[in-house]
Structure 1
Amino acid sequence: MSADDIDRSKPPASWEHLAIKSGYTFYGRDKSKRATVLLRCHTCSELMSVHTHVLRTARAECTSCWLNALSSEAESAGLTLIGPDLTDSHRAHYLGVCGHTLNRQRGFIQRVGRGEVSLRCTDCLRERYAEMAENQGWSLLGKAINGKPNYRLFRHTCGFEQDVAICNLQSGRFTCNACAGNWASDPSAVYLFQFDFLDERTRLLKVGMSRNPASRLRHQLGLKDEVRAQILRVVTVASGKKALKAEKRLHGILRAVCPEFVVPNYELNWISVVSEIYRIEALPLISELLSDLEETLRSEQNPLPPKTNCASSRGLMQ
C-alpha cells in the first residue's frame, strides 16, 4: 500500500486509546476501505491493517509478530517455516531437514520444541515402510483396507494384496495368505543364541526353532537392558515340523547328558521364556549336536544311490 492510499487525518480519540491499549500506534485509514485502519506494532514496528470492528471489540494480533513466533517455534523444533495454513489458523506448513513438507498444528510444534514429543515425517515413514516391505518381497500400496491406523496395504510378488500390521512388517513375522502354507510345512530353522550380561561373568545359551531367528531374537524374547544377545548359529530345516522334531530331540539329549547345564526357570527373570536356556559350558556339546543335525539334513537331501546286487546286474546286462 502506497502513502497516497492512506488517510493520515486524526482519528477519533477513542480509536487512538484502543490502539495504544492493544500495543499499537494508530497510523491511518485505508482510503479505499474506510472500515479498515492501519496500526503500527510497538513490538516489531510493522504496519498491520485491521477492521474497525476488531479495533473496537477485540485485541488485534500482529501478523508480523505471529509469523515471527511461528518461525521461531519451527526453528526450535528443527524445522523451517514455509507459511501458515490458509485453511486452518491453527496449522502451518514446515520444511523438515529431510527435505519433505509437513503440515502440523502450532501447538504440536511448540511441544516438539520443548522436547515433550518427537516429530515424525510422514513421507520418511512411508519410504521406510516401503523399503522394509521391498526387502521382504512386498510393495507398499497405501492405507489399509480395514481402516486401522497401525496397518498398511501391501502387494506380494505373487500379486496378492493384503493388510499387514506395522509391527509384523518390522519384525518380519508375516506371510502371504495366498501362496504361503502353515508353520509346519514352511521352511524353518534351529538356532543357537548367546546372551552376555554386563557383569561380564554370566554367559548363557538358548536353543530353539523359528521361521525367522533374527526376528525371534529382536522382537520376542523381551530381553532386559543388561543383556547383550547374538546369533551363534542357524541350521536351516526344510519344514517347521522337522525343525520342531529336531529341536525336541536336541533338548532331550542335553537334559539327559548334562542336566547341570540346564538353567532353572527361577533364574530367568531377564527373558520372556521359562525354559530352553543353558550354561555356556554346554556350547561344545550343542555345537556338536547342531553339526550332526546339519550332516543328517544333507544326507536326506542327497541320499546315496541304492546298492545293486552284482549278479543281478550281470543278469540285466546279458
Structure 2
Amino acid sequence: MHHSHDNSIIIAGEALPVIDMPIHDRWREAADRRGFDITARVADRYALALTCRRCGELSRTRLFVLMQHRPRCAHCIEAAWRQEAASAGLTFLRRDPGSTAYAWYRLPCGHDARRQIGLITRVAAGETGLRCATCQEAVEAAEAQAVGWELVGPDPKGDTNYRQYRHACGHQQRIARGNVRSQRFDCAGCGVTWTAAPSFIYLFRVLLPNGMRVLKLGFSRNPQSRLQHQLLGDRDLACHVLRVVAMPSGHDAIRTEKRLHARLRRRFPDAVIDAKDFAGALTVVTEVYAEWLEAEIQQLLDGIEEDSDDDGA
C-alpha cells in the first residue's frame, strides 16, 4: 500500500521526499530475493522505500542493508508482536521509542506496562508468567496494612525479596516480604515482637499429588496466610483447614507446638510421613503426619483449648 503526497512518500507517518535518481537493476534483484519491491529512492541517495510483498506496507531501508543483509518489514514484525501479545492475554500498544527491545502493553487488569518483547514471547509460549507491578504493589501494601505497617517502597539494598516498611510507631526498616505475610518479624524501633503477639496452633489436611492424604500440624500468627503463601509448594493442591486453636502469644504457640510434636513422634512413630513422600508438594520437611492420626491430634488440641479457657476464666 503506497502512501504518497505530491513529491513525497509517507512512511510511518513521516513524509519523505522522493529522490529522482535511477534505481539499478541489481538493487531490484536483491529486493526481489528478499520479498520486497523498490518503490522509490527517498530522503537521501542512500535510502530506499521498500514495499513488502507479504503485507503491502512501506518501510524505509538503507541501501547497504538491502544489499548486504536482509531487510525486515517493520509492519510484519509489529503484527507478530500484536499476535504474541494477544496469545499472552495482553494488548500491544506501541513500540518503545527508547529501546528496540521493549514495547508498551495493556495488561488484563487494565494497567499499561513497559515490558521486554522477548519476555512476552515467552509468556505467549507458556514458559513464564507476567504480573502487574501496580497491582502487585497494591497487594503488598494491603499485606503491610493488615499487620500494622505501611509499605514504603523497594528494598534500599536492592534485594527483591525485601521491601522497606514503616511501622505505626514511625520506625522504618527493611523486612522480607515472606516474613510480613507470615507476620514473623519484630519492630526494631518500638520493640514490638511477633512472639509477643497472639498466635494459633493449626491443623491442615493436604491431598498430595500421589493421592496420599496427610496432616500438617504447626503454628502461625496467621494460619490462612501460612496456607496460601508459604506451605504449599504446589498451589493447585487441595488443602483444608481442620482446626485452629488460639494461643495468647507466639511464645506460647512455639512451646505448645514443640510439646505436641514430641508427644506424637514418641507415641506414633509410624504416623510420621517421610519427607520424600511430599517433596515438592510442601515447603516443609518435617511435622507431617498420616491422616489416620487426626482423631488423636484433635483430642490433644481439645485439651489445649480447654486449658486455655481455664487460664482465661
Distance 2:19 2:61 in 1: 14
**Where do residues 185-224 of structure 1 align in structure 2 (5 Å cutoff)?**
186-189=196-199, 191-193=201-203, 195=205, 206=217, 210-215=220-225
Extract unaligned runs of 5+ from structure 2.
9-17, 279-283
Distance 1:211 1:145 in 2: 27
Distance 1:266 1:14 in 2: 82
Give the superposition deviation at 1:228.
3.7
Moved more, 96-105 or 266-275: 266-275
**Where do residues 1-318 of structure 1 align in structure 2 (5 Å cutoff)?**
1-5=4-8, 6=18, 11-30=23-42, 33-182=44-193, 186-189=196-199, 191-193=201-203, 195=205, 206=217, 210-215=220-225, 228-237=239-248, 239-242=249-252, 251=260, 262-264=267-269, 267-269=272-274, 272-274=285-287, 279-282=293-296, 285-286=299-300, 288-299=302-313
Distance 2:52 2:229 in 1: 57
Distance 1:86 1:260 in 2: 64
1:25–1:39 contact (8 Å) kept in structure 2: yes
Give the superposition deviation at 1:94.
0.9
Distance 1:43 1:173 in 2: 60
Give the superposition deviation at 1:281.
3.7
Give the superposition deviation at 1:287.
5.1
Cα distance change of structure 1 residues 8 and 23 upon mapping to structure 2, 3 Å threshold: farther
Cα distance change of structure 1 residues 67 and 279 upon mapping to structure 2, 3 Å threshold: closer
Cα distance change of structure 1 residues 42 and 213 upon mapping to structure 2, 3 Å threshold: closer
Give the superposition deviation at 1:25.
0.9
Cα distance change of structure 1 residues 196 and 103 upon mapping to structure 2, 3 Å threshold: closer
Distance 2:237 2:138 in 1: 33
1:82–1:95 contact (8 Å) kept in structure 2: yes
Give the superposition deviation at 1:20.
1.0
Specify the structure having the higher radius of gyration (Cα).
1
Give the superposition deviation at 1:113.
0.8
Q: 1:279 aligns to what SS in structure 2?
A: helix
Distance 1:49 1:200 in 2: 61
Give the superposition deviation at 1:37.
1.9
**TM-score, normalised by the number of residues in structure 1:** 0.75
Identity %: 30
1:109-148 CA deviation, whole Å, 9 max, x = no partner? 1111111111122222112111111111111111112221
Paired amino acid for 2:91? T
2:219–2:254 contact (8 Å) kept in structure 1: yes
Distance 1:181 1:103 in 2: 40
Cα distance change of structure 1 residues 280 and 23 upon mapping to structure 2, 3 Å threshold: closer
Distance 1:201 1:16 in 2: 70
In structure 2, the partner of 1:310 is: none
In structure 1, the partner of 2:14 is: none
Distance 2:256 2:159 in 1: 39
Cα distance change of structure 1 residues 8 and 242 upon mapping to structure 2, 3 Å threshold: closer
**TM-score, normalised by the number of residues in structure 2:** 0.76
Paired amino acid for 1:2? H
1:205–1:279 contact (8 Å) kept in structure 2: no
Cα distance change of structure 1 residues 175 and 201 upon mapping to structure 2, 3 Å threshold: same
Distance 1:251 1:193 in 2: 12
Paired amino acid for 2:67? R
